[in-house]
Each structure stands twice: as C-alpha cells, then as structure tokens.
Chains A and B, each alone.
Chain A
Amino acid sequence: MKMTIEFWGEKFEANMVVGALGGFIIAVASSLGGFGGGPFVVPLMTVIMGLPIYVVVGSSLLAIFFNTLMASSRYYFFGQTDVVLFLIMAIGAVSAGFIAPRISKRLSPIWVKRVAVVGYGYLGLKLLGIVP
C-alpha cells in the first residue's frame, strides 16, 4: 500500500504498511518512557520511509498529536498531572509552536535534520544511561 507525497514539485512514494505498523510499535514503546513518540516517528519517516524532512516535521507532529492527547488524558485520570505546573509549561509550549516553524523555514533541510540528530542522539544515549 503506497501513498504518493508531493513536496516542492518532487514526488515521494510512502509505504503506509511500514508507517502504520511502525507508528503502532513506537506509540506503545515511547509512551512507556513518558515522551510523545516523535523521536522515533521522524527517523521512521525519513530513514525508513525515505521522505523529505520538511514534510516529516509537520506530519510527525500531527501523527503524535493523537497519541499525546490520549496519554495526557490517561495521566490526568491517574492523578499524575500537576495542573499548575502543566499550565505554566503550556504557555511556553504554545509560544514554541509559533516560534519553531519560523526557524525551520529559514533553516536548510540539512540543518533541520542535524538538529534532529542531536536530539535523538541525546535520547539514545539517555536510554542507554550514558547521559542523565
């Protein structure tokens, strides 16, 4: 099952079986670690599905949004959410959602990928217990 994705005049073929199955496994695994799943979705879409980073950043956010929404409600249900702490961080988070795309637009796709490599490299080392 393939999906054609067009970006800036270039056509990319995305294998959606890989995307769906990968997304399912990533969601189970990443929410156990307490993060939204994005760190695995971006490499899935770029490295495994071969899609351009510019399309991946936005699509990845959309993909993990549902997961984050469900996980958030569950955490709230289990009484793990500190509402004040969440509200304060939400102000910073919303602002970040406006600032980041403006930066991405000005960054070359190579550098957007390299920023991602730094973040995912850090998470990989963290999971291995090398960095805090």
Chain B
Amino acid sequence: MNERLNLSRLKEDLMRLDLGITMPFSGKFLPNKGTLCDELVQGSTYLSCFFVFFLLLSFLAYPVFGQEKPMEAKALQKASEKPIIEVKLDKSVYKGGDTIQITGKVPPGMKVNFIEIASTEAKVQVGRLDRKEFKFYLTKEVPAFYTIIINEDYVAKVEKNGTVEERPVKEIYAKFKADKKWKIGEFLKQTNADFAYITPPKLISEIKVWKTSIVRTIIGSRGEPLPSLTDKKDIKKESARLLQARMRKLEKLFVLQKITTNEDGTFSVNFKLPENAPKGAFSVIAVVDKEIKSEPAKFTCDVSFPKYYFPVAGTSVNLFGPLILALAICTFGVIMGAGGGFILNPLLILIYDIPHPVVAGSVMPSVLFSQGAGIYNYSKIGFINLKLGITVGIFMALGGFFGPLLNQFITLAEYKFVFGIVLLILAALMFWQTTPGYIEKSKKEKAILEEFKRRAAAAKAQREQKS
C-alpha cells in the first residue's frame, strides 16, 4: 500500500515538474499573443528558460563530476593497498648443488603456499604430439629449469558443480605421483599450483603447431603447419604440457616442501639447486593465492669448468663424465657386438638427469663411432663376415627408417614388457650355450674353443720366447 501511495505521489510530482517546464512552451503563462514585440518577448523567454535549464543541469551535474575524482583516488588507493609480498635470496649468484635460502614477508594472517623457480635465460626446444587430435606442438622457448615448490600443509580449494571442494595437497600429490599417465593440467588445477604457473607463459612467445598423421610421420614429415599458438591462455595450457614432455616425472616439476610462515608474516624455505642446473638468470616468485604474488627475485647460476652447459640438453654436466662413461660402456658394448647405447642411455639419465629425447639423440651418433671403429678393428682380426653383416644390415636399415619417427609419436611402455621377456629368454639361451654340456654336444663350438686355446697357447709361447 505504502509503495503504491509513494508511486502515485511520485507520478504527481513528475506531472508538476513536467507542467512547470512545459508551461512556458505551451503558452499558458503568455496570454497575449500575435504582436512582434510579443514574439520577441516570447523568444527571449524561451532563451532564458534554456539558460536556466542549462544552469540547473550543470548545477545538478557538478556533484557527479565532482565525485569522480575522489572515486579514482579511491581505486588507486585500493591498488596500492594490494598486499606487498617481499622475497629475498641469501645470494645473487649460485652454483649447481648450492642451497638457496628464500626468505620474505607477507602481511600477517597470510601464508606463502607456492614458490615458482624458473630459468629465464636458458631455454630449450621441446616437442609433443597430442595423440587425440594428432597435432604436433613445438617451441624453442621452454625454460631449461622449472620447479614449483608447494607448501605441504596447503589445502587446495577447487570449485566443482558450484561447491568448493577442499583437499590436502599432500593427498593429491601422492595420487598423481603414483600415476604414470599423470596430466599436468589436472595437477595444476587440483592443487591450485596454476596460481604459481607464471613464468613459462611470459617467456614463450609462440608455440608452433602441425596437423600430422601416421602416414606423414613415416615419410619423414611433421605434417601441415597450422596457425601458431600466440594467445597467452593457449600458451599457458600447452607450455605446461611441453614442460611435462621434457621433465616427464612429477617430482622434477613439483616439490612438496614445508614453507614456514610465522605469525608476523615472515617466511623461509630452503631449496637445493640441482647439480645440473642450467647457467644464466633465474626468477623466484612467492605466491599466496590467485591474486597475491610477489615481484620476481632474481639470481644467476654460474657454471664453470669442468662443468659445461649443454644448450640442447638444457643441463650442466662435468665434461669428463660423459667421456669416461662413453669409453667404458662402449668398450663393453663393442665386446658384445653392440654399440653400447642401450646401457649409456639409462646411465646418462640416471646420473646426469639429462632429458630422455636429448640423450637418445646424442648417444645414437656417438655409438656410431664406437661401431665404426669396432668394425674396422674386428675386420683386421677376421671377427666379421661382410656378407652376413651387410644383408642383415640392409633389412635393419629398412626397419630403422620407421623407428626414430615413431619414437616421437609412440610410447612403448606397453610393449617394453614383451621385449624384456624375449631378451631375457634369449640371454638365458646364450648362457646355456656357454655351459660345458652344450659345448660337448656342439662339435663346431668345441672346435672353435679348442682353436682359441691353441692360438692363445701359441701367443703365450711367442711372448715368452721374446722375453
């Protein structure tokens, strides 16, 4: 009722207001019409009415315009009120293996939940195939080193069907770590670590894309080029997947660690820079939540002789390590009639943590040299049959044409089991061929063994004669 009364009163008021303004134009205030003077008087009245109306408007408008300035100031004040997060490092230059002391301060009541550490200078090339859409993604700007430290006490909040679900980050981390087919996008979302995924999208300006197919990969083509990804949202999504393709394991990209934030807002955390960390500039960003982040604190990683930064591998390794390893393993490999790559590969990954695709791509041409030198030296002592080697070699070359292409596009996890079993059976059979029982039965093997013994005895006698 009251509302209705008020409405009718408002209507009346508006009518009055309308009358007040329109009355001069309707001529209700001007009863005498017809003369020029009258018209002039009428015109001046109109003008004066306009003037008054304009004045009134400006007067009414003034407070509105006047209010805008304080509002702007308020907004600026709000921006400046955004909590400031301080981050400090104990040194500005580190070496691989050093411990970085990260300290800082957040406003009391807040907690640092994530710390992002990324190399901003050393970047590497990474490629990845999306098996669902059959698209190949590639960029040369992936940070060579990337880690997000997640506070182990953090409880992640994820919105699901309109409700906020809370889960301890420890639980999520354990679940993803156990899953060999883990997906980085899901992990970032579920742990809220995407709040701290800041630097890669900034560093990467474009990700090239190709539409490919199995047939194209066989003929040695990546496929048809598609428009590159340049939108920051797309780059954020895809760059994370590329980082996963490079690092593979969850624990190499995400570290669960205690980040202690005291009551006064000071926090501290220690982080051990890996031995193989790349050289150049790094950034450290402390993150409270989606909105509250620190400015990057910067440091440099120094790499000096005998360590060397391998630019494609994106890691720093002692120069003599791979040299000695290659010498020892390839010797072992050539004795058994292989190059040694199958042992060198896992050792380089295990000892130096060099990414798998680079290890495969660098070991293969190295092994080529051990094989070449081995063939030359075996041919000198007659331990080779050229016809046999070349015939099997031609068919292997045909098969080898497909292999490296498929290596980019297929993971062999499921088939490795079969190969492993087959190889173990073959190894067992080979061992059986060295047992006295087998040699007794095989006349030819026995003859060769006896010939070896005869030659060894002759060589020994010759040496003794010389001495």
Contacts and interface: CB of A to CB of B under 8 A. Distances in A.
Contacts of A80: 312, 357-358, 360-362
Given A85-B310, A119-B336, A120-B427, A96 B331 contact: yes
Given A123-B423, A128-B416, A57 B397 contact: no
Given A35-B341, A57-B336, A94-B369, A103 B331 contact: yes
B389 A59 contact: yes
Interface residues of B, number: 118
A27 to B, nearest CB: 3
Contacts of A77: 220
Interface string B329-344: 1111111111111111
B393 A23 contact: yes
B399 A25 contact: yes
Given A33-B419, A84-B308, A96 B365 contact: no
A109 to B, nearest CB: 6
A17 B227 CA distance: 48
B426 A68 contact: no
B395 A24 contact: yes
Given A82-B358, A124-B423, A57 B402 contact: no
Given A19-B392, A24-B395, A75-B404, A96 B327 contact: yes
B427 A117 contact: yes
Nearest to A35: B342
A89 B306 CA distance: 15
A119 B416 contact: no
A96 to B, nearest CB: 3
Contact of A93 (B370, B399, B417, B423): B370
Interface in B108-128: 125, 127
A121 to B, nearest CB: 4
B345 A58 contact: no
Interface string B353-396: 01011111111111111111111111111111111111111111
A47 B391 CA distance: 18
B421 interface: yes
Query: Which of B354, B385, B415 gathers the greatest number of chain A CB atoms within 10 Å?
Result: B385
A113 B333 contact: no
B419 A127 contact: yes
A89 B359 CA distance: 11
A2 B396 CA distance: 18
Interface string A47-78: 10001111111111111111111111011111
A104 B383 contact: yes
Contacts of B343: 119, 122-123
Contacts of B342: 30, 33-36, 38-39, 119, 123, 126
B305 interface: no
A115 B426 CA distance: 14
B235 to A, nearest CB: 20
Contacts, number: 465
Contacts of B125: 79
Interface stretch (B201-209, B290-298, B443-451): B443-451
Given A66-B393, A69-B368, A96-B370, A82 B338 contact: no
Contacts of B356: 34
Most buried by A among B330, B332, B379, B386: B330
B41 interface: no
Contact of A82 (B312, B382, B429): B312
B313 interface: yes
Interface stretch (B20-28, B29-37, B182-190, B430-438): B430-438
Contacts of B377: 97-98, 100-102
B281 interface: no
A29 B325 CA distance: 25
B168 interface: no
Contact of A41 (B324, B337, B376, B403): B337
B174 interface: no
A104 B387 CA distance: 21
Contacts of B14: none
A11 to B, nearest CB: 8
Contacts of B64: none
Given A88-B323, A100-B374, 6 more contacts: A66-B400, A70-B400, A71-B404, A82-B310, A93-B327, A128-B417
Interface of A: 3, 5, 7-10, 12, 14, 16, 19-47, 51-72, 74-86, 88-117, 119-129, 132
29 contacts: A10-B447, A12-B444, A22-B392, A23-B395, A23-B396, A31-B399, A37-B396, A40-B423, A41-B396, A54-B383, A57-B337, A71-B364, A74-B405, A81-B358, A83-B312, A97-B372, A100-B332, A100-B335, A101-B374, A104-B383, A107-B335, A108-B453, A110-B449, A111-B434, A119-B336, A124-B421, A124-B424, A128-B424, A132-B346
